[in-house]
Structure 1
Amino acid sequence: MSVTDGRTAPAHPQAKGPDPVPLRRNRDYLMLWSGAGLTLLGSRATSVAYPLLLIWSTGSAAAGAMAAFAAQLPHLIVQLPAGALVDRWNRRRTMLVCSAGCAVSTASVVAAVGVGQVHLAHLAVAAFVEGSLMVCHRLAERACVRQVVPASQLTAALAGNEARGRAAGLLGQPLGSAAFAAARWSPFLLGSVTHLLSLLAVLCVRAPFGGRPAAERRRLGPEIAEGLRWLWRRRFLRRITLLISGSNVIFQALALLPAFVLYEDGLSPATVGVIAAISGAGGAVGALCGGWATRRIGLAGLVRGALVVWALLVPALALTRSPLLLGALLAGMSLVGGAVNVAGGVHQVRTTPDALQGRVNSALQLTGSGANALGALAGGVLLDSLGAARTAALLGVAMGVLALVAAASALTRLLASDEQQASQEQQASQEQQQEPIREQEGERPS
C-alpha cells in the first residue's frame, strides 16, 4: 500500500516467511516479466524499422534520424508527468492501456505501408505515440517489481529485468530488420502482435497494484516536485545520472552508424539485425553479471570503469567497417552498460519509498535519457556531414571527457552519504509507523 507522506510500503508478503518462493515459481513476477518483455520486443522491432524505412526510401541518414528523434522525444517531455500519473493510477491498468495503444499505433503503420501511403509525418507521430506509451509502461512495470518479489530477491529480479531488456534488443532488432528485408510492413505487424500478447500476460497478474485514492492526491505539479526534491537531495544519484546522461546522448548519436555504414557499402538491411544481436548478447551477459560486479567493484567504481571502457571503445568504431567487428565493439559497450544499469537500478529501487517510485524513476529517466532525442538528431547530421569514421572519432573524444569528469568526482564518498541518508529516513519512517501502535497499547487497561 502506498502512502502520500513518502513512507516505505510494506514488503511483499513473501518476504515475511523464512523461505520465499523462488522467482521461477513466482507467478505474478513471471507474468509481469514476460508481459514487459513482449512489449519491449515489439518496441525494439519497430524502433529499428522506422529509420530503416526512411533511410532505404530517401538515402538520407538525417531522414532516418527524424524517426529516431520522434521515438526518443517522449523521454524528454513525457517522463515527469508519466511518473506522477503512474504513482496515482492503478499500475496494472496503466500497463494494459499502454500495450493496447502501442498495438493500435503500430497497426496504423502496417496499413499505411500496405496501401503505399507512407509519409514522414505519420511515421513520426506513430513513433512518438509508441515511445510515449512505452515510457508509461516501463515506469509502471518498474514500480511494481518491489510488490511481487521479496527484498532478498530484488537484485536477482532487477538483473532478470535488465537481461530481459537486452534480450529484447538481441531478438527484436534482428527480427525487425529481417522482417523489413522481407516486407516493409512486417516489422510493424510483429510489433502490434507482441503488444497484444503483452496485454494478455499482464491480464494474468493477480496483484492489484492500485494507485493512491483520489482523496490522498494533490495537484500534479506538487507531486512531480516531490519526486524531484527527493532526487536532488541524493547527490550520488544526481551526479552519476548526469554522467550517464552524457554517455546516453553519445550512444544515441552512434545508433545510426551501423545502418549508415551498411547503406554506404550496399549491404542488406538485415545485417543491421546481426550487429544488434551481437550487441544485445553483450548487454545480456553484462546484466546477468551486474550483481557480481557490484559486489566486487562497487557501484561507484563500476560507473567510473564503464566510462573509461566506453571512452576506449567508441573511437575504435572509426577503425572498421566490418559488421562483425562493429557488433563486437558495441557488445563490449553493452556488456558494461548492462552491469551499470542493474547496479544503479537496485540502488534506486531499494532507497526510494514506494509512494515515490514512479516519480523518482521518471526524474532519473528524464535526466539520464531526456537528451537522447537530440543525440539521435545530431548523429544523423554528423553522419551526413562528417561520415562514419570522423563521427565515431569525435564522439570518442566526448566520451573521454566524461571519463575524466567521473575520475575527478568523489563518487565513493557521495554514495556512502546517500546510503546513510536513506538508512536514517527508513528508520524515522519505521518509528513513525510504530508510534500509533505504541499509543494504542498505552491506552489499553492493565
Structure 2
Amino acid sequence: MVDEAPATGSTGRLPPLRKNRDFRLLWSGASASFLSSRVSAVTYPLVVLWHTGSPLATSVVSFAALLPLLLVQLPAGALVDRWDRRRLMIACEAGRFLALGTAAVALATGTVSVPHLAAVAFVESGLAVFYRLAERGAVRNVVHPEQLPSALAANEARGRAAGMIGQPGGILLHSLVRWAPFLFASVAYLVSLCSLLLIKKDFQQERAATTTRLRSEVADGLRWLWRQRFLRAALGIVAGSNVLFQVLSLALILMIKEEGRSPATLSIIVVLSGIGGMLGALSGGWWLRRLTQRTILLGGATCWAVLMTAMALVREPLALGALFAGTSLVGAVFNVAAGVYQVRTTPDEMQGRVAGTANLLGSGTNALGALGGGLLLAAWGTTRSVLLVGGAMALIAALAAISPALRTEEPPTDRKPAEEAPPEDLLAKRDDSDGAAS
C-alpha cells in the first residue's frame, strides 16, 4: 500500500495510510476478492472445455459471466446508494463464497453441469458489480480526504497485481486439481468477508430514507452526471480509448501469429504490460500532486496516441512489451486521477449510480471494440489497423485539447502535500474523520 505522510507527532502531520487499520482491512479484503474474481474468470472456460469439449458450451458460460456487466450496473448503482454499503458488501462476499463453493463441490464429486456453471458465473459476476460499486464509495469514508489519492492509487495497484497473479494462478491450480481454483476463490471470498466484519468505521454518511422508485433514482444519477461537464468529457475519452484498446489486444495476437512466434511470447508481453500498470498505479498519487487533472487527461491521451502508432512499426516482442507497458502505465495514472476526481466531486449518496454509469459505459465500449476490432483487422490487416487506431487516438486527444469543458472547468487538484498544511488545519480535519486513527 501507499503512504504519504510521516507518523503523527507534535507537528500534527497525518499518520501514514498504512497505519489506518480500517483501510488496511478494506484494502486487504478487497485484494482477496479481486484475486478470486481473476482466478475464477480464467477457470470457467477451462473447466467447461475440459468437461464438454464444446466451444458453444464455453461461450454460454463466458456470456453468463459478462452479462451482468451490461444488465446490472445501473440498477446496482441505485441500490448501492440506497442500501448500507458495509452490509451489502458482506452479503456479496457471503453469496460469492457459497456460489463458488457449490462449483468446487460439484467438480470434486463429478456432478458439474453447464447450466450450473453458467448460474455460478452469473451470480458471481453480478455480486461483483455490487461489491465494487460499494467499495469505491466506501474508501472516501475510511481515509482522510488528504490521503484519498494515495488510497485510490493503492487500489489501482491492487487490481493490476490481481490481474497479473490471478490468471496464471488459476491456470496452475486447474492443472493440479480441477476443482482447486474454485475452492481457492471461495476461501478467498470468505477471507474478504471476515475482513469486512472487523472494520469499525461506517462506509457512508448519514442518509435520509427514500421512497422514490428505483427508475427515478437511476434517472437522477444520470442527470447529475450529465451536468458535470468535465467528468462527462473525461468519460467520453475513456469510452473512445476503450474501443481502441480492444482492437489493439486482438491485433497483438495476430502480430505474434503472423511472426510465427510461440504463444508464450504473448505471456511475456502481458507480464511487461502488467509491470507498467503497477508502476503507473503506485506513482498515481505522485503525478496528482504535481499536475492538474486536465494535464494528466490530455497528456495521457497524447502519450497513448504516440505509443499506439509506434506499435504498428514494431514486431520485436520486448519492444512491443515496452510499448504496452507504457500504455498501461499511462492508463493506471489516468485511472487514479479519474477515480479521485469522481469520488471527490460526486455526492456520497450518488457514488454508486455515477460509478455504475461509468462502468456500464466502459463495458459497452469494450464489447463494441471487440466486435469492431475483428472486422477491422479482417479487412485491413494488422499494420494498417494499428495505424488507424493510433490516428483515432490522436484525434481523440486533439478533440480533448479544444473541448470547452476541459478548458474552462478545471477541477480541484491535490498538488499541495498534506504535510505542508498548517498543523491546526490538519488536526481539525483529522477530528472529522477517524479513518486515519490507530
Same fold (TM over 0.5): yes
Distance in 2, matches of 1:183 and 1:396, equals 43
Q: Find the residue that maps to 1:218 and give its secondary structure.
A: coil
Are the structure 2 counterparts of residues 112 and 311 from structure 1 closer, same or farther at C-alpha, using a change threshold of 3 Å? Answer: farther
> CA offsets per residue over residues 84-138 of structure 1, 9 Å max, x none?
111111211211222233334444554566538564x665554433222111111
* Correspondence for 2:231: 237
Equivalent residue letter for 1:311: A
Are the structure 2 counterparts of residues 261 and 196 from structure 1 closer, same or farther at C-alpha, using a change threshold of 3 Å? Answer: farther
* Correspondence for 2:352: 358
Gaps of 5+ in 1: 1-13, 421-446
- The answer as to 2:253 corresponding to 1:277 is no
What is the deviation of 1:233?
A: 1.0
Distance in 2, matches of 1:161 and 1:381, equals 35
* Correspondence for 2:425: none
1:133-212 map, 5 Å: 133-182=127-176, 185-209=179-203
* Correspondence for 2:403: 409
Are the structure 2 counterparts of residues 141 and 317 from structure 1 closer, same or farther at C-alpha, using a change threshold of 3 Å? Answer: same
1:229-308 map, 5 Å: 229-255=223-249, 267=262, 274-308=268-302
- The alignment-based identity, stated in percent, is 49
CA contact (8 A) 2:73 2:360 kept: yes
Q: 1:343 aligns with which of 330, 337, 346?
A: 337
* Correspondence for 2:218: 224
Distance in 1, matches of 2:348 and 2:377, equals 43
What is the deviation of 1:144?
A: 0.8
What is the deviation of 1:339?
A: 0.5
Are the structure 2 counterparts of residues 175 and 274 from structure 1 closer, same or farther at C-alpha, using a change threshold of 3 Å? Answer: farther
With normalisation by structure 2, the TM-score equals 0.77
What is the deviation of 1:52?
A: 5.9
Distance in 2, matches of 1:122 and 1:21, equals 48
CA contact (8 A) 1:170 1:278 kept: no
What is the deviation of 1:34?
A: 0.8
Equivalent residue letter for 2:161: A
- The answer as to 2:69 corresponding to 1:79 is no
> CA offsets per residue over residues 159-206 of structure 1, 9 Å max, x none?
111121122222222323443455554433332232222112112112
CA contact (8 A) 2:229 2:405 kept: no
Distance in 1, matches of 2:298 and 2:111, equals 49
* Correspondence for 2:430: none
> CA offsets per residue over residues 321-351 of structure 1, 9 Å max, x none?
6654444332211100110111111111111
Equivalent residue letter for 2:393: M
Which range moves more in the overlay, 98-107 or 212-221? 212-221
* Correspondence for 1:441: none
Distance in 2, matches of 1:180 and 1:129, equals 21
* Correspondence for 1:442: none
1:356-435 map, 5 Å: 356-379=350-373, 392-393=386-387, 395-416=389-410
Which range moves more in the overlay, 165-174 or 183-192? 183-192
Equivalent residue letter for 1:251: F
CA contact (8 A) 1:90 1:211 kept: no
Equivalent residue letter for 2:397: A
Are the structure 2 counterparts of residues 272 and 171 from structure 1 closer, same or farther at C-alpha, using a change threshold of 3 Å? Answer: farther
Distance in 2, matches of 1:252 and 1:105, equals 30
Q: Find the residue that maps to 2:409 and give its secondary structure.
A: helix
Q: Find the residue that maps to 1:24 and give its secondary structure.
A: helix
Equivalent residue letter for 1:134: A
CA contact (8 A) 1:95 1:140 kept: yes
Are the structure 2 counterparts of residues 414 and 75 from structure 1 closer, same or farther at C-alpha, using a change threshold of 3 Å? Answer: farther
Are the structure 2 counterparts of residues 140 and 233 from structure 1 closer, same or farther at C-alpha, using a change threshold of 3 Å? Answer: same
- The answer as to 2:323 corresponding to 1:329 is yes
- The answer as to 2:21 corresponding to 1:31 is no
Distance in 2, matches of 1:58 and 1:164, equals 34
| Root-mean-square deviation (Å) | 3.7
Distance in 2, matches of 1:263 and 1:189, equals 35
1:8-87 map, 5 Å: 18-50=12-44, 70-87=64-81
* Correspondence for 1:100: 94
Distance in 1, matches of 2:327 and 2:347, equals 32
CA contact (8 A) 1:73 1:372 kept: no
Q: Find the residue that maps to 1:370 and give its secondary structure.
A: helix
> CA offsets per residue over residues 218-264 of structure 1, 9 Å max, x none?
22122222221211111110011011012123334444666677789
Distance in 1, matches of 2:318 and 2:78, equals 43
The total of aligned residue pairs comes to: 401
What is the deviation of 1:301?
A: 2.0
Q: Find the residue that maps to 1:307 and give its secondary structure.
A: helix
Are the structure 2 counterparts of residues 109 and 276 from structure 1 closer, same or farther at C-alpha, using a change threshold of 3 Å? Answer: farther
What is the deviation of 1:285?
A: 1.1
With normalisation by structure 1, the TM-score equals 0.76
CA contact (8 A) 2:82 2:210 kept: no
CA contact (8 A) 1:162 1:341 kept: yes
Distance in 2, matches of 1:149 and 1:254, equals 37
Distance in 1, matches of 2:360 and 2:282, equals 25
CA contact (8 A) 1:91 1:211 kept: no
